[in-house]
Chain A
Amino acid sequence: MNIQTPIIANTELNTRADQAARELGELLLHTPEYQAFLKALNAANINPAVQKISAEMRSHQDALRWSLKNTGEHEAELARLETEFETLTVIQDYRLTEEAVCRMFAEVDLIISQAAGVPFAANAKRSGCGCGG
Chain B
Amino acid sequence: MLTEELQNSARTLGEALSASQSVQTYLKAQANCGADLEVVDLENRLLALYQELFGRQQRGEALQRSEIDAYNTLKSQVHQHPLILERDAALILVKQTCSNVADDLNFPLGAEFAALSQAGSV
Contact = CB atoms under 8 A, between A and B. Distances in A.
Interface of A: 6, 9-10, 13-14, 16-29, 31, 34, 98-99, 101-118, 120-132
Q: Is the interface of B mostly helix, strand, loop or mixed?
A: helix
Interface of B: 2-3, 5-7, 9-21, 23, 26-27, 91, 94-95, 97-102, 104-122
A19 to B, nearest CB: 8
Residue among A9, A116, A129 with the most chain B CB within 10 A? Answer: A116
A123 B93 CA distance: 10
Contacts of A107: 2
Given A22-B104, A105-B117, A126-B99, A118 B17 contact: yes
Given A17-B17, A106-B122, 10 more contacts: A6-B21, A14-B20, A24-B6, A28-B109, A111-B11, A121-B102, A123-B98, A124-B101, A129-B115, A130-B112
Q: Is the interface of A mostly helix, strand, loop or mixed?
A: helix
Contact of A17 (B91, B97, B115): B97
B120 A99 contact: yes
B114 A113 contact: no
A117 B18 contact: yes
Contacts, number: 185
Contact of A22 (B23, B98, B107, B111): B107
Contacts of A108: 2, 6, 10, 113, 117
Given A20-B16, A124-B98, A118 B23 contact: yes
B97 A14 contact: yes
B21 A10 contact: yes
A101 B97 CA distance: 24
Contacts of A16: 16, 19
A132 B10 contact: no
A129 B105 contact: no
A124 B48 CA distance: 28
